Structure 1
């Protein structure tokens, strides 16, 4: 008989700790991002356990390193569920790795928390989606860029599911606003700085208003460095992204990062009590906040949401936890978030930020309120008022 996690509920009640799985790469091309997600999850676990755990029992993380190799995620998820008797997993950055885990958790009826933005067009009752979907980042970003810079775009991405689907969505959104895509090129995840020379030459020749990048991991760092080395200036023609984050800026360097733009629900520079408390705790545990990213904040928030649900259910059971989680909210570092009971995705903020000369994101614009997730882009209209961004005043204004 195939293993099914629901059969372990009664036996697990007698265990001394609540075991959960953490499936983030600490090595390989996406480790610069996934390590920050792992840290966010571990910080949340520490905070929960410091307050007595859940119903007097600590949360015990079981962590494996998939080494940024796509097939490893599915294999390790299977190992967690079958061998380690774990029914809740937090993990993954790339969509290709999520696609490896998805059939495993569905077949085994485990619960999977995915703390990363993605291309949308997916739903699973076994997944809680904690990152932004296209209507929460692509649409506000396109709106902002076309108003601030122009409508001529050049797409550069890594060659896997997320970049290709994100570019398809962005192309459709741009078309509504009269935008034009001058080029679209993809690169291997292992691409180095020299590999981008030809596309950068083409960019310099065609002179787009904006470069939209879906290059991820180490390739992102190499692409930004290559653009800067070739004379590219973010203040004149920015690279705009949904993924470039604080940890990557630290690796790229301030000079090569200046002027470039990212849309995300969270930035380290947000000035709010919840974020200040989060950053203080992160600094105390890990010694620095340079790698705090939107994915890190999402993982942190999802662990807290899970713990609150577990406190109510008193058992790690997928159906019971899901029932409590749908509609649940949390005062996250970005602001109040809520899991949408309609689709298992999360209501999130949307901010547009530009890197300043000191290598810090400064929020330029933000939407009026948290955006209801629409993973299937049923209403993708670029001119929808709810996606309009409010301009944030000069750098002296607090990013709240």
Structure 2
């Protein structure tokens, strides 16, 4: 018979031992060591096991936990450890047979029950260690969301952020110590929340309202949401480019010649499992890409200041590559020689020289070659006429 895991990740509620089912109580009774943040340890006073406080930052506790192999250990976490909790981080550092998890009631479930919100129609965010800008792609009138925040001061930061983005009429439900004897729920305006004082742990329910602009869900986001020096793939071309890139679950993108970062940022907006690295040779543009990524809730974008192909050495290989700048024979040679079979490649060209280059490579490797010509109505004397943009030639191929 296989040995039982030495490590148990235990979800704990605010009612401490009183709220634990028998299986969870048994794990604590058998434990030689109980490890967790000070607040969690204070919720389980009547145990005999050695107590170890989990340090800050969180990553410092992993070596301590690894040093406890061979003893029976319980790690205390909040609610459901695998819903914006510590469970997934711990599990990545230990073999599957070393640990098991016993989840408790999640904060999101408790909050939805208090508010009578259907959880499948409510967005959930863990922002205790992430920027508030993660909310930006989702902010729209009528949205309901439940979010976790790090401390009471973060409520004031949240109200300021919602006001600055134009959603000043949002209603907040601040819920403290859900499921415990100190539980309290308050419904308030942004102004009331800004002046309030709140005790951790807590979460906030949002009913978004106001005149702020929602970011469309379709590809081809408005140009105005990006900070730019003019070097940007414009909205209609960007929509066609994202269609050609065809993001799929879990894929990684290289965005070569990032410019404003609009392509890689929109790529990330398509699905939370997507990742991206953008390579930009100009330092000021690389910094601008970082600002755009953070402002639009895509702070997981990796930005590299460097010039391809040299800057590509050592990077994790992509599933998809977009070339928006720096197109050259040398770059295409490097990509053809170093990328895995099945990698999708999309390149946009505006100049005659780059068009000719794509025509040559289309002849070598095949794929699709598309010429995109757009015109927009604009004043022409007292009337209107069509003002043509520079045509774009787009090559897409699977290597």
Give the alignment's TM-score, normalised by structure 1.
0.29
Q: Over alpha carbons, which structure has the higher Rg?
A: 2
Which has the larger strand fraction?
A: 2
User: Bigger relative contact order, structure 1 or 2, given CA contacts below 8 A and separation 6+?
Assistant: 1
Give the alignment's TM-score, normalised by structure 2.
0.29
Which has the larger helix fraction?
A: 1
